[in-house]
Amino acid sequence: MKKLITLIILSVLVISCGDNDTNTVEGIIESGDLVALQKKKDELTTQQQQINDQLKQLDEKINELNPEKNVPLITAFTASDTVFNHYVELQGSVETKQNLVITPEMGGILQRVYVKEGDKVSKGQLLAKVDDGGMSQQLAQMQVQADLAKTTFERQKRLWDQKIGSEIQYLQAKSNYEAQQEAINSMKQQLGKSSIRAPFSGTIDDVITEQGSVVSPGQTPIVRLVNLSDMYIQTDVPETYITNVKTGKDVEVMFPVLNKTMDAKIRQTGDFINPENRTFKVEIAVPNADKTIKPNLTARLKINDYTNEKAILIPQSIISENAEGEQYIYVLDSKEGQKAVAKRVIIETGISQGDVIEVLSGVKDGDQIIDEGARSVKDGQTVKIISY
């Protein structure tokens, strides 16, 4: 009897399993029955909608029972005193006062050029010479006449000292000798203009006119002489900074082309404000020991116009403004664990630099300030701190 019952149960299970196989998704797909496929899809779609409705009801109930559902999540930081340096960012150009195109003082044929490009020369060194047009021969003749006038004067003076001869003869000899000396000095000055000399020490950057060319005084460029030791940057500063940008102020100089940054100081500020663009000029001396800085090179400048040794800086993004135009932020009050109360405080701000701004009043060292989420909280509202 027990065996029979067991056999019947097994038979029912087999039949049931067979029926279930035909009702499964896999079984219906294998059957290829379109009507059955559509029916099964409709059943599953209905079940899915019922499950979604049930999940929604559960979420609503969970939120209703959750005491922290309306507590905003925020991040905060601690205000602290720090050194605040404000910079005026400008662009300038490298210059040197010893960058000169030298021209002749005398016209004529450029007789000889004694230097070539790249030569180092010292102040007073002979660079080139213009044909003097026979003035050197004239000087030699004048020197002979001057020697004769000198001998005549010396003899006449000895006679006059011995009370021999007349005073007029003595004075004529003296006058003739002095006139000859003046003429020689004048001729030497004129002859000296035929020599082109270096007005300062430096490097010959370019030989512009070749020897044999006809040159004109003050017009024909002969050579370019450059000294890269005394380099400076000149820039125009808006007049609003005239009280803060002064001689001796620190400057951070960057040369983008050279990928080079250096610290420098303002060595001179202009006393004249340009009426066209309302700016004044400043000069910043730059060291150039390696000679990599060249005239007309572009430089970016950051001039320190303001420093506060004990400044409190906050992000500008957390500041709001009320209807009266007052600025305010939120700080943490009554902090317990991860929870605190948001407190609105009116602040007064100063100078900004980038994304931060200086707070002059309303916040002190050690205050805990709400950062992220600052614009979504209200005064007196409980908040939860997720990062600090």
Task: Write the CATH number for 280.
Answer: 2.40.30.170
Q: Which residue has the higher pLDDT, 64 or 147?
A: 147
| Residues spanned by the domain of 216 | 106-225
**Per-residue pLDDT at 4:** 36
If asked whether residues 206 and 250 sit together in one domain, one would say no
Same domain, 211 and 120: yes
Number of domains in the chain: 5
End-to-end CA distance of the chain: 77
Query: Which of 251, 276, 306 is a domain's end point?
Result: 306
Do both 14 and 62 map to the same domain? no
Pair 250, 217 in one domain: no
Query: Among 178, 195, 225, which residue terminates a domain?
Result: 225
pLDDT for 90 equals 94
Q: Is residue 316 scored above 90 in pLDDT?
A: yes
CB 339 within 8 Å of CB 384: yes
Instruction: Kindly report the backbone phi and psi dihedral angles of residue 367, in degrees, each rounded to the nearest multiple of 5, phi listed first.
Output: -65, 140
Distance CA(13)–CA(24), nearest Å, equals 16
Residue showing tokens 């149960």? 9
- Match 């960012």 to its residue by tokens: 89
Please determine, for residue 231, whether its predicted confidence score (pLDDT) is greater than 50: yes
Place of tokens 């379109």: 34
Q: Which of 349, 295, 360, 301 is nearest to 327 (CA)?
A: 349
pLDDT recorded at residue 69: 60
Model confidence at 237: pLDDT above 90: yes
The answer on 1 and 15 residing in a single domain is yes
> For residues 248 and 243, what is the distance between their CA atoms, to the nearest angstrom?
13
Average pLDDT, the chain: 86
- In terms of domains, do 264 and 220 share one? no
CA 57 from chain centre, in angstroms, equals: 60
Tell how strand 382-387 and strand 73-78 pair up.
parallel
The enclosing domain of 332 has a CATH number of: 2.40.420.20
Rounded to the nearest 5 percent, the helix, strand and coil shares of the chain are 30, 40, 30
Query: Each residue of 251-299: pLDDT tens digit?
Result: 999 999 999 999 999 999 998 999 999 999 999 999 888 888 988 999 9
